[in-house]
Chain A
């Protein structure tokens, strides 16, 4: 099976712009979670989507949003970019049953905000 894919792999934006990142889960997986990784804060949970519904949310401002499509692909959007949003954004997928299960991560999107 193909793994989790994320596009684009690298992105450079300027402050105030917005950005959309895409994640395609492993075939058959219905849950997609997003994480942000920075040198200062480490890996932090952003949100999780299952069957097109946000099922769990981390402690991030409303500028960070996401959605999931009927084919389980997911996008996350960051509006009004700030310098501190520079990070590696990781997507993870899992089969997504009634209880939590093992998540498999993609390679990440490296976002640089100038």
Chain B
């Protein structure tokens, strides 16, 4: 699975949009981009995933560049409860489940 690069940490003001970037320049055509987040000492929470089109759900939006080498997770109105580690994962949907987690981005939402 392709490797991802994320900033170590980011700050965001409460109520503003949080834009978390992820670089995956070696992504293959059949690899999906997944986002999870982990609030301190809890299990990771699935947020969203996509292949090449932009995706939106009740939690966030995922914007994937046309060349698919990078993506951005957008939390439209960040709250203090969105403070967490955000993981960008690239994976093929092949037989067998395995997620390879990097270090992720620590997002701090401040009032």
Complex Cα gap A31–B98 (Å) = 11
CB of B43 within 8 A of chain A? Answer: yes
Show the binding face of B for A, using Cβ within 8 Å. Answer: 34, 36, 41-46, 49, 87, 91-103
Are the CB atoms of B42 and A33 closer together than 8 Å? no
CB of A106 within 8 A of chain B? Answer: yes
Are the CB atoms of A55 and B46 closer together than 8 Å? no
**A interface residues, how many (CB within 8 angstroms):** 30
List residues of chain B with CB within 8 A of the CB of A4: 43
Show the binding face of A for B, using Cβ within 8 Å. Answer: 4, 31, 33, 35, 42-45, 48, 50, 55-56, 58, 88, 90, 92, 94, 96, 98-108, 110
Are the CB atoms of B43 and A100 closer together than 8 Å? no
> Contacts A42-B103, A100-B92 known; A94 to B43 CB distance under 8 Å?
no
Kindly list the 5 A-B residue pairs having the minimum CB-CB distance in the complex, ordered from nearest. Answer: A105-B43, A43-B101, A56-B96, A99-B93, A100-B93
